[in-house]
Amino acid sequence: MVPCQGLVFRAPRRFPPALSQRKTEAKFGPAPPVGARQPLCPRERRTPAGAAAARREPRGPSRSSGPRDGSAGRPGHRTPGLWVTAAMEMGSSSTEKFYRIPKGKGPHSVGCTDLMTEDAVEGSFLRLYYPSCDATDNEEAPWIPDKEYYQGLCDFLNMYRVVGERLFQYYVGSVTCPAKSNAAFKPGEKYPLLVFSHGLGAFRTIYSAVCIEMASQGFIVAAVEHRDESASATYYCKKKSVSEPHEESASSMEKEWIYYRKLKSGEEERGLRHKQVQQRAQECIKALNLILKINSGEEVVNVLDSNFDWNSLKDSVDTSRIAVMGHSFGGATVIESLSREIRFRCGIALDAWMLPVGDDIYQNGVQQPLLFINSEKFQWAGNIVKMKRLSSNDTNKKMITIKGSVHQSFPDFTFVSGEIIGRFFRLKGEIDPNEAIDISNRASLAFLQKHLGLEKDFDKWDSLVDGIGPNVIPGTNIELSPSAPK
């Protein structure tokens, strides 16, 4: 298959009747109470009009038929997800435009490959992004590799599968990420290792803009796909039973799919999320151990079909320079992982959702340096206070906020949607998506250089870590009570 050069995003004159009759509400990240969102500029304090006003939600439980996945009527709380409120009928548009996940800006070409160990749910599953040799013959990797991920997203977003799968296939079915699939690993130096944890309802491929940029700057990035039932969909491979007929050329393995688990009626959310974040942290540590095992030259069996040479990674990881990074629920996973594993020398939490973090962590603290990079529109006072409980009076813990950004400024969906769709589905903020992700990535690189002791030039972005520069502020835009931690 020839890799596509981008996604052609056309707004059809009218969706089929089955689509136009279905109103969809969904979320890809917890939406704070509107009253808790503090605009950065006085001009933004005016009352929104039109669709923006219609999307403004009241404080407290919603009576909407859309999914709330366990908000349980608690004021000011939503569960992380792809937050969408839209009638599935759109006007006509004569404009065509190509949208594409941005390439890495660093000096290295980037390859990626998938790794799964063991034919059981307890194994590891990750996508590895890495500095690669130039690979003109290799195709770019598919962004969403299986239709079952569309089905999982539909379940997570409370959409009929037959409707949602058709929409996802139409709009993003041919999207690729700018990393060459199974390209040869670039030897010759030791690279720092970054383990990445995805958000609720996401999966391993959805943060490729972040992971590819880090790999282009000289990191090996292991993007974990979590099996705690917080991903929209994931799978493990198991051996086919003897009774199952299969063609001679077919694999003896089959995929066993695991879909997102919604809260049961009356179930308390924090208990479930805390249990999940513990499993997630363990999966991050397991991924770390797996990469270090490969680095030491031990043979690892990949149950997925791949022609990538895993032996080429031997002695390629700088084992003294390891960090962990994640978005939303993945931000909570970063904190949990730091508290459990000292080999993670520092962590970066992108718009972290703090509900899953256990009380014991606030009591014992996190010793390693930690950077919180927040969006302007997502955070609320209760969440920020929890961050400050971990970071007060510690100069190695920083917090910045990107002006005009939203919770979806970090995953890839912001890049593959047009302006109208992106704003309508809240996949885009007021800031250009490329500028927002550049601020986040550059602040991350500067932070990693300082706390991993890298000999790079990322310190030219040190001011961003202090919240100094265009479209970034130090700390938070949220007004806190005088008694809140500083």
**Cβ neighbour number for residue 278 with a 10 Å cutoff:** 16
Distances (CA, A) of 245 to 10, 159, 185, 257: 42, 34, 38, 20
The Cα–Cα gap between 200 and 24 comes to 18
Q: What region does 475 belong to: left with phi over 0, alpha with psi -120 to 50, or beta?
A: left
Contact between residue 218 and residue 108 where contact means Cβ atoms under 8 Å apart: yes
Please give the full DSSP string across 339-406, using - where no structure is assigned: HH-TT--EEEEES---TTS-HHHHHH---S-EEEEEETTT--HHHHHHHHHHHTT-TTEEEEEETT--
- Please give the sequence-ordered ranges of beta strands (E in DSSP) within 56-123, or none if there are none: 84-87, 98-99, 109-116
What DSSP element (H or E) covers 451?
A: helix 433-452
Tokens 């609320």 belong to 380
In sequence order, what are the beta bridge partners of 468?
none
Catalytic residue among 114, 228, 318, 351: 351
Q: Which residues contact 479 (CB under 8 A, 6 or more apart)?
A: 38, 381
The Cα–Cα gap between 442 and 429 comes to 19
Tokens 């796909």 belong to 225
Residue 351 bears catalytic tag: yes
Contact between residue 434 and residue 444 where contact means Cβ atoms under 8 Å apart: no
User: Could you give the residue ranges of the DSSP H alpha helices within 189-260?
Assistant: 208-216
Q: Which two structure tokens, joined as six digits, stand for 253?
A: 């393995």
Catalytic residue among 208, 232, 316, 328: 328
Q: Which two structure tokens, joined as six digits, stand for 386?
A: 């929890």
Residue 407 bears catalytic tag: yes
The Cα–Cα gap between 207 and 203 comes to 8
Distances (CA, A) of 418 to 225, 376, 385, 414: 27, 21, 35, 8
Angle at 297 between CA 292 and CA 299, to 5 degrees: 95
Catalytic residue among 407, 409, 438, 444: 407
Contact between residue 326 and residue 277 where contact means Cβ atoms under 8 Å apart: no
Nearest alpha-carbon partner for 116 in 268, 274, 302 = 302
Query: Active-site residue numbers?
Result: 328, 351, 407
